Amino acid sequence: MQTDKESAIYLYCLARTGLVSEIEGKGLGGAGLFIYGHNDIAGIASRVPLEEFCGPKAEELKQELSWIGPRVSLHEKVIEKIMHYSPVLPAQFGAVFSSVQALKDFMEQNHETIGDFLDRTAGKEEWSVKAFLDRKLAQKSLAEAGSENREAAPSVSPGKQYFQKKQIMAGAEKKLKNRLKKISDDVWSNLKDCAFDFSERKVLGREISGMDSDMILNWAFLVDKDRHADFCSRVSQAKMQNEQAGLTFEYSGPWPPYSFCPSLEAKK
């Protein structure tokens, strides 16, 4: 059995004490979840082995996908469980405190910021929107359109035909960039119209996205729960209007408001 010196307090998220009074289930390391309430803020936490999150061994474990993957998943599931009862401020994976007192100090120090965030996100959910481009298909479509207007005359030498083709492809790339910007601006404006807030996230490579096409947009929207059907319908409409041109829009959610979390200070 671990002693307090061998364990740490692991924080999953912060919520409202009046909306979350009890929680069942186990957290990371198999210890039971518990709620630490202080004033009107509740910290959802569990005890974890200290060496797994602090020190040299912890740094090694964080490099092992087989170790970190299931734990990140469990971390997110706990937050998603709480979001059904209360607005939540998700903690970053690996947020640990040496004691309950340290957690209390952290909550006191950031009380105003936490409270404002929970108020602002009450009744709202995060929805992710990503756009994927089949670049070859899009370029081919634009290049063929350009070729129809600039057919090479029979007397043109093979060398000139080659340079004409290069010019067409360069023009197609420029047209593609302009077209993508116009589409993204139009879609963003349409989605932002029924969202409370917006955040632009890092575009991911194929090895992370798991898609055969290139991700060109990665957006997060904070949407009122009563508007999520309208929001999803607008994304589906954007997909239908643009997929023939090699551009696909995908949405997922609802998620806790990961992309809108404020920075919290740790007591020095």
Contacts (Cβ under 8 Å, ≥6 apart) of 43: 11, 13, 14, 35, 36, 37, 103, 107
Between residues 170 and 41, which one has the greater pLDDT?
Answer: 41
Beta bridge partners of 125: 223
Q: Is the pLDDT of residue 229 over 50?
A: yes
Sequence-distant (≥ 6) Cβ neighbours of residue 89 within 8 angstroms: 13, 14, 15, 114, 117, 118, 121, 257, 261, 262
Q: Identify whether the C-beta of residue 14 lies closer than 8 Å to the C-beta of residue 103.
A: no
Q: How far is CA 165 from CA 171, 172, 175, 185, in A?
A: 10, 10, 15, 30
169 in the same domain as 98: no
Please identify which residue in the block is written with the tokens 């302009």.
178
CATH number of the domain that 228 lies in? 3.30.70
pLDDT higher than threshold 80 for residue 54: yes
Confidence of residue 141 (pLDDT cuts 50, 70, 90): low
Domain-embedded: residue 114? yes
Are 140 and 162 in the same domain? Answer: yes
Residues 141 and 86 in one domain: no
pLDDT tier for residue 1 given thresholds of 50, 70 and 90: very low
The pTM assigned to this predicted structure is 0.82
CA separation for the pair 7, 34 (Å, rounded):
15
How many Å separate Cα 226 from the centre of its chain?
Answer: 21
Structural domain of 76: 4-120
Quick check: is 267 in a domain? no
Q: Are residues 110 and 149 in the same domain?
A: no
Q: Rounded to an integer, what distance in angstroms lies between the CA atom of residue 138 and that of residue 92?
A: 39
Same domain? For 85 and 162 the reply is no
Same structural domain for residues 37 and 161? no
Closest C-alpha to 30, from 61, 1, 59, 65? 1
- Number of folded domains that form the chain: 2
Average pLDDT in the 13-42 region? 91
Is 146 inside a domain boundary? yes
Q: Is pLDDT above 60 for 88?
A: yes
At 152 the pLDDT is 46
Identify the pLDDT of residue 165.
60
Q: Per DSSP, what are the bridge partners of residue 249?
A: 131
Per-residue model confidence (pLDDT) at position 170: 56
pLDDT, tens digit, 9 for 90 and up, residues 167-182: 555 556 677 788 888 9
Of the residues 120, 135, 150, which one is the last residue of a structural domain?
120
